[in-house]
Amino acid sequence: MNFIVMCIIPIFIATILIVGLKEKKDIFKLFVEGCLEGLKMVYKIFPYILAITVATYLLKSTGALDFILIPLRPLLTKFGIPDDIVPLCLMRPLSGGASMSVVMDILKTSGADSVSGKMAAIIMGATETTLYTITILFGAVGIKKLRGVLIAGLIADASAIITAIILVNIGVI
């Protein structure tokens, strides 16, 4: 099995070369054109990545997330939602890296078997970086009308978060 896995990429490259030679294509020229297209895509996407990354880290480093929690604490307690889960729920649609650091912090402080740890694990596995993904994909293609996709993605994330909270609180997980 290990041998097969090690041979996949060389076989893939050999197949491309054989097909290219058979069809009498300039393989190197096509490769360079593909690289150029990739660089153009990176050039289009980079401003969106930079904006999302800066906004995410500003929210986290300035303490704005902690400030958001103050009026929400009574409601969180009523529904059995630990305080440390809220930053994860807010960051997850924005950034995978920032939400991963929130999860790592939860696991260090509360532990993996805690209510917070279980909720964090489920939320990380069941949600997507919706805003980040939409920004990158739609920004690269130039699509401006994304309201339906955004609403569907955020509803899916909210459903996953609510399900995680319910499953952990009733003791299923």
Q: Is residue 23 part of a domain?
A: no
Q: Is residue 149 part of a domain?
A: yes
Contact 81, 87 (CB under 8 A): no
Supply the pLDDT for residue 137. 80
The total number of residues written for the chain in this structure: 173
Q: How far apart are CA 110 and CA 88, in angstroms?
A: 14
Supply the pLDDT for residue 69. 78
Provide the domain count of the chain: 1
Supply the pLDDT for residue 152. 93
Supply the pLDDT for residue 135. 79
Q: Is residue 2 part of a domain?
A: no
Q: Is residue 75 part of a domain?
A: yes
pLDDT digit string (tens) for the chain, length 173 residues: 788 888 899 998 899 889 888 998 888 898 899 889 888 888 877 887 777 778 777 877 888 877 877 888 889 989 999 988 988 888 898 888 778 888 998 999 999 999 999 999 999 999 998 988 887 788 777 787 888 888 999 999 999 999 999 999 998 88
Q: Is residue 18 part of a domain?
A: no
Q: Is residue 132 part of a domain?
A: yes
Residue 61 belongs to what domain range?
Answer: 40-169
Backbone angles phi, psi at 23, to 5 degrees: -90, 5
The model scores a pTM over 0.85: no
DSSP of 23-91: TT--HHHHHHHHHHHHHHHHHHHHHHHHHHHHHHHHHHHHTHHHHHHHHHHHHHHHTT--TTHHHHHHH
Q: Is residue 47 part of a domain?
A: yes
Q: Is residue 30 part of a domain?
A: no
